Amino acid sequence: MDATDVDEDDLWCQLESEISSCTRCPLHQNRTHAVPGVGNRHADWMLVGEAPGEQEDLKGEPFVGRAGQLLTEMLRALGLERSQVFITNVLKCRPPGNRDPKPEEAAACEPFLIRQIALIQPRIIIAVGRIAAQNLLKTSTPLGRLRGKVHRYDDIPLVVIYHPAYLLRNPAAKRQAWEDLKFAWRIYLENRQGNHG
């Protein structure tokens, strides 16, 4: 078993090194830090956001600004600590001015995300916001139509929630966001029981 752990650690080190030195798209030219992701590498919950912002680029960690603080509070409300989940983004480098990722940028980063999901093997994926949802699900369907349903990424249940940055601008949507999280929790529990029953 120890050998497996070492191999897995090696795979993570290699992956994070590749992300940090990636030059697949022009975004690497202006980054302070690449932002591979953070959290429990054996997490049941994997959260995938859109792209690093200014604070994330400076620190090299996803969701550390105001939106990140709100996301942490949302997880705590479910009884989850940040250390229990794995948090990453579709893009590993910050787009200039926090603009939306371009399709070719998302495509350049996608192999990293696929490898992260394969290593973690989460029981549920939470797509945080429209960009993450549309990239993971390969769809242009609006966020409002993707919420409240169980989607699949390979064989993993995927639930779409509002991005916390949107909730900071639209506090009235927080109630819906809480319903989405409770829905995700139910799906997670059903999936967990199903796998052990």
What's this model's pTM, rounded to 2 decimal places?
A: 0.94
- Burial category of 68 from C-beta neighbours within 10 Å (exposed 0-12, middle 13-18, buried 19 and up): buried
Q: Is the pLDDT of residue 197 over 50?
A: no
Total count of domains within the chain: 1
Residues of the chain with pLDDT > 90, as a percent, come to 92
Computed over every residue of the chain, the mean pLDDT equals 94
Residue 109 identity: C
Reported as a single tens digit per residue, the pLDDT across 154-170 is 999 999 999 999 999 99
Q: Is the pLDDT of residue 133 over 90?
A: yes
Q: Would you place residue 4 in the very low, low, confident or very high pLDDT band (cuts 50, 70, 90)?
A: low
CATH number of domain containing 124: 3.40.470.10
What is the torsional sign of CA 88, 85, 160, 179?
negative
Q: Which domain holds residue 112?
A: 2-196
Reported as a single tens digit per residue, the pLDDT across 98-109 is 899 999 999 999
At how many degrees (to 10) do helices 174-196 and 66-77 cross? 50
Instruction: Provide the pLDDT for residue 18.
Output: 97
